[in-house]
């Protein structure tokens, strides 16, 4: 613990942390409870990350950010639900754990390849080390809509949990008018919205998930009455690890009218995009553009943004209910709260929408860790979502027991000297984000007009591709070489494990 605060002081001095206060005397002895909340398809266009004049109403995420550390440069390893979530829960890159798509066999999280048969998920690790582990709704991949409408388990790992709850919710069958806003019939990958009458939201997935999470908190964490004995709790003295999945703002964009009322369509913000923005990028990079994929009119684009923001506020409302429950049962002072999204989401940047892209908005995610008595403020250090597994192990006091093959580092106590984040996507896309640069490549081989290079010091919007600029040739080659090293290590990981001596 002393090392933690020494490192925190050094990071403050180096300008990587902007912390308001450090109160080590407030830390509670013993393993804390841990509540991890994962939103679905949430980008960083929320108040803890941008000027509040953008008017995305997230009062509960705001208060959570005020009580903890907000990571301003956290990156997903794959901008699609299934691979990203498997990466988070395994602590391994998608190419290393073998989960590089959403296809799955029900009940098989697909990490149990011969090389990884004994590798525990984050939750299984905590369960094996004395925690009571509970899952509510989507943590590993479940189809939204579709799977959630059928109450499916999806690609969950059942051995990870002492208790697990699958949510069945109506989604596209909710009592309202479903409006298609873009091309295509599949509501899981196109834009559609539904405005519910206020009071009709009780059957929505995130309301049901919050209900069940609150029930778990009441059952597991509320102190017993004086003189009572606990004969009903499994592992009665165990700390709790609760993984709670919210499906909003994943499409279809569903929320009660009160949230839609916050965001008039005619005032929905659309990003400024240069007319020539996509002229200097590889064809694969532009595949999620409005012209290529969605075909929305300007009015439909504004409707999609307004509906997305309404869904975010609806999800935030459920976060608040869970935070209030922790206070009510008296567990807030010994509970770590982690909030994140599985990946980012484009809302018109680069004329592109949704996920799969490799630009900043698709792969950057909100990540907040609130630890009682811990640091508060913001960290500008580049972190990856694979860092969550070792970070959670550290928060639980189990860092020495964590699997040695984890590819991330504890973002609260270890300084990641590499200062880089590695992300892949379909179409053989890959990206390396460093302190100053983003290097993207589409395909295994380089130098085929399939590269992108962006200078975040001068071009944070990633509008100018410098890959073909002779003045940046040395930087391109340096990042290309490092990208090749990281990709090779990730792709060869399981092979190396199989050859390692017992």
Domain boundaries, the chain: 2-222+240-402+419-499
Query: What per-residue confidence (pLDDT) applies to 7?
Result: 40
DSSP string, 19-65: EEE--GGGPPSSPPEEEEEEESS--S-STTTS-GGG----HHHHHHH
Q: CA 315, 191, 264, 52 torsion: positive or negative?
A: positive
Report the distance separating Cα 274 and Cα 278, nearest Å.
9
For 114, the enclosing helix (H) or strand (E) is none
Weakly modelled stretches of the chain, pLDDT under 50: 1-27, 105-107
Query: What per-residue confidence (pLDDT) applies to 226?
Result: 76
The CA–CA distances, whole Å, from 214 to 82, 165, 192, 321, 344 equal 26, 13, 30, 8, 27
The model's pLDDT over 5-60, given as tens digits with 9 standing for 90+, comes to 334 433 433 444 443 333 343 445 679 999 999 999 999 999 899 876 666 899 99
Query: What per-residue confidence (pLDDT) applies to 120?
Result: 96
Report the distance separating Cα 470 and Cα 411, nearest Å.
36
Q: CA 344, 295, 285, 278 torsion: positive or negative?
A: negative
The CA–CA distances, whole Å, from 84 to 38, 76, 108, 184, 430 equal 11, 6, 16, 24, 14
Query: What per-residue confidence (pLDDT) applies to 1?
Result: 37
What values do phi and psi take at 494, rounded to 5? -70, -35
Report the distance separating Cα 456 and Cα 75, nearest Å.
15
CB 23, CB 371: distance < 8 Å: no
Q: Give me 29's structure tokens.
A: 């002895």
Query: What per-residue confidence (pLDDT) applies to 501?
Result: 67
The CA–CA distances, whole Å, from 299 to 249, 289, 361 equal 20, 16, 22
Work out the number of other CB atoms within 10 angstroms of the CB of residue 401: 11
Report the distance separating Cα 137 and Cα 127, nearest Å.
18
Q: Give me 101's structure tokens.
A: 């798509």
Query: What per-residue confidence (pLDDT) applies to 160?
Result: 96
Report the distance separating Cα 440 and Cα 483, nearest Å.
9
Query: What per-residue confidence (pLDDT) applies to 24?
Result: 40
Q: Which CATH class is domain 2-222+240-402+419-499?
A: alpha beta
Q: Give me 408's structure tokens.
A: 């991330």
The CA–CA distances, whole Å, from 39 to 48, 439, 483, 488 equal 15, 27, 29, 31
3-state class of 241 per DSSP?
A: strand
CA 457, distance to chain mean position in Å, is: 25
Query: What per-residue confidence (pLDDT) applies to 4?
Result: 39
Q: Which residue has the tokens 């017992």?
A: 502
Query: What per-residue confidence (pLDDT) applies to 11?
Result: 43
Query: What per-residue confidence (pLDDT) applies to 17?
Result: 42
The model's pLDDT over 299-333, given as tens digits with 9 standing for 90+, comes to 999 999 999 999 999 999 999 999 999 999 999 99
């Amino acid at each position: 613990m002393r090392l933690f605060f020494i490192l925190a002081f050094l990071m403050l001095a180096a300008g990587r942390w902007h912390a308001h206060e450090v109160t080590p005397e407030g830390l509670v002895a013993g393993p804390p409870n841990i509540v991890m909340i994962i939103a679905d398809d949430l980008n960083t266009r929320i108040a803890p990350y941008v000027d509040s004049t953008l008017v995305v109403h997230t009062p509960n995420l705001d208060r959570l950010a005020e009580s903890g550390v907000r990571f301003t440069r956290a990156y997903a390893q794959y901008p699609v639900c299934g691979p990203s979530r498997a990466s988070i829960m395994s602590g391994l890159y998608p190419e290393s754990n073998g989960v590089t798509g959403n296809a799955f066999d029900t009940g098989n999280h697909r990490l149990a390849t011969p090389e990884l048969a004994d590798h525990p998920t984050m939750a299984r690790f905590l369960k094996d080390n004395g925690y009571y582990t509970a899952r509510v709704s989507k943590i590993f991949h479940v189809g939204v809509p579709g799977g959630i409408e059928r109450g499916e388990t999806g690609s969950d790992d059942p051995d990870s949990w002492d208790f697990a709850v699958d949510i069945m919710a109506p989604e596209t069958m909710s009592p309202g008018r479903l409006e298609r806003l873009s091309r295509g019939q599949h509501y899981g990958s196109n834009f559609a919205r539904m405005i519910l009458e206020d009071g009709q939201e009780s059957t929505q997935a995130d309301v049901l998930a919050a209900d069940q999470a609150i029930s778990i908190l009441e059952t597991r964490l509320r102190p017993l009455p004086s003189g009572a004995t606990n004969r009903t709790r499994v592992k009665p003295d165990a700390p709790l690890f609760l993984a709670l999945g919210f499906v909003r703002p994943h499409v279809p964009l569903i929320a009660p009218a009160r949230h839609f009322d916050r965001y008039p369509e005619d005032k929905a913000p659309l990003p400024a995009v240069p007319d020539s923005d996509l002229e200097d990028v590889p064809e694969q990079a532009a595949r999620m553009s409005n012209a290529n994929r969605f075909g929305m009119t300007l009015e439909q684009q504004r409707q999609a943004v307004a509906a997305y923001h309404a869904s975010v506020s609806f999800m935030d409302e459920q976060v608040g209910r869970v935070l209030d429950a922790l206070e009510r049962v008296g567990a807030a002072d010994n509970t770590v709260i982690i909030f994140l999204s599985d990946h980012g989401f484009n809302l018109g940047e680069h004329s592109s929408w949704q996920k799969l892209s490799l630009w900043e908005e698709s792969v950057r995610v909100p990540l907040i860790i609130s630890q009682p008595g811990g640091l508060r403020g913001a960290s500008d250090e580049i972190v990856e979502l694979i860092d969550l597994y070792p970070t959670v192990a550290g928060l639980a006091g189990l860092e020495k027991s964590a699997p040695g093959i984890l590819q991330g580092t504890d973002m609260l106590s270890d300084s990641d000297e590499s200062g880089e984040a590695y992300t892949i996507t379909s179409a053989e896309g890959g990206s390396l984000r460093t302190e100053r640069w983003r290097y993207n490549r589409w395909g295994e081989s380089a130098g085929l007009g399939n590269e992108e290079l962006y200078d975040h010091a001068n071009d944070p919007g990633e509008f100018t591709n410098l890959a073909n600029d002779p003045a940046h040739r040395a930087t391109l080659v340096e990042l290309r070489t490092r990208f090749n090293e990281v990709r090779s290590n990730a792709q060869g990981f399981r092979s190396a494990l199989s050859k390692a001596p017992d």
